[in-house]
């Protein structure tokens, strides 16, 4: 028996705990983690080709023109996009992918013209427990200046209105709780009959 790869998409307002959750998942061999492209500058400690591919605006636009992206969007004033080829290759190989992208990107994947991509998609929204908690988490992170925090909070309000568009919603608690809930979703999705092929029957053996 084998199964096709699943395209897990995780969206959350920044500060909701998404990076921590993704980093925990990244430490396991369960997922192929896609590295996005962005036009924003690297934060302290971030590495090119590991955290993001850091591109100029001109290079990003050239890649849009070449059909390089599965989806791309403007978030907090910068461009972000998912390279399509790595995603397609991983799905064909039966690997599960984890994408950490915003609500606009998730929407673009839901309406992708390629049926293989749409059926592979499982999208999850990580909801901060309260707006006040989100603000506190953003401030504690201390990687952004005041203007950037304000912008992220206003984007968060807008993003949180879209939770109903997702297959699953996790109300964020502790890191351990979030990881457990996310794992429960990934486990169940891996056993879906529609994703499985019985090789014995498929080959007539
Ligand atoms: P940050 O700048 O804090 O790393 O990310 C800001 C936001 O951009 C996050 O909400 C993250 O999910 C989103 N993001 C990161 N990569 C991509 C991408 O490839 N596509 C889209 N649409 N959003 C992304």
Question: What are the per-10-residue average pLDDT scores of the chain (205 residues)?
Answer: 92 85 86 94 94 97 98 94 96 93 96 94 94 87 80 90 96 93 95 86 55
pLDDT on residue 202: 56
pLDDT on residue 201: 63
80 lines ligand 1 (CB under 6 A): yes
Q: Residue 169 carries which DSSP code?
A: E
For residues 118 and 108, the answer to whether their CB atoms sit within 8 Å is: no
Q: Taking the model in full, what pTM does it have?
A: 0.91
For residues 16 and 172, the answer to whether their CB atoms sit within 8 Å is: yes
One of 3.30.429.10, 3.30.1330.60, 3.40.50.2000, 3.40.50.300 is the CATH number of 2-34+94-198, namely: 3.40.50.300
CA 167 to chain centre: 14
With the most atoms of ligand 1 within 8 angstroms of its CB, the residue from 46, 80, 124 to mutate is 80
For residues 34 and 87, the answer to whether their CB atoms sit within 8 Å is: yes
Q: Residue 48 carries which DSSP code?
A: B
Rounded to the nearest angstrom, the distance between the alpha carbon of 33 and the centre of ligand 1 is 14
- 117 vs 119: CA distance, rounded Å: 6
What is the Cα gyration radius of the chain? 18
105 lines ligand 1 (CB under 6 A): yes
- 181 vs 74: CA distance, rounded Å: 29
Q: Of 12, 5, 4, 3, whose CA–CA distance to 168 is shortest? A: 12
Strand 2-3 and strand 196-197: pairing? antiparallel
With the most atoms of ligand 1 within 8 angstroms of its CB, the residue from 50, 100, 145, 163 to mutate is 100
CB atoms within 10 A of CB 18: 21
């Amino acid at each position: 028996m084998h199964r096709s790869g699943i395209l897990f998409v995780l969206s959350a307002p920044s500060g909701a705990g998404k990076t921590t959750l993704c980093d925990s998942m990244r430490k396991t061999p369960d997922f192929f983690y896609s590295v996005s492209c962005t036009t924003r500058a690297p934060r302290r400690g971030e590495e090119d080709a590991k955290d993001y591919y850091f591109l100029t605006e001109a290079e990003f636009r050239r890649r849009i023109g070449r059909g390089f992206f599965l989806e791309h969007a403007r978030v907090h004033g910068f461009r972000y996009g998912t390279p399509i080829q790595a995603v397609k290759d991983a799905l064909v190989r039966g690997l599960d992918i984890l994408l950490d992208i915003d609500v606009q990107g998730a929407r673009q994947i839901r309406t992708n013209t390629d049926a293989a991509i749409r059926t592979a998609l499982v999208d999850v929204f990580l909801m901060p427990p309260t707006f006040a908690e989100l603000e506190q988490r953003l401030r504690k992170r201390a990687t952004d200046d005041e203007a950037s925090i304000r912008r992220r909070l206003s984007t968060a309000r807008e993003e949180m209105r879209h939770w109903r568009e997702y297959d699953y919603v996790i109300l964020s608690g502790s890191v351990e709780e979030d990881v457990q809930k996310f794992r429960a979703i990934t486990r169940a999705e891996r056993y879906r009959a529609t994703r499985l092929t019985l090789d014995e029957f498929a080959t007539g053996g």
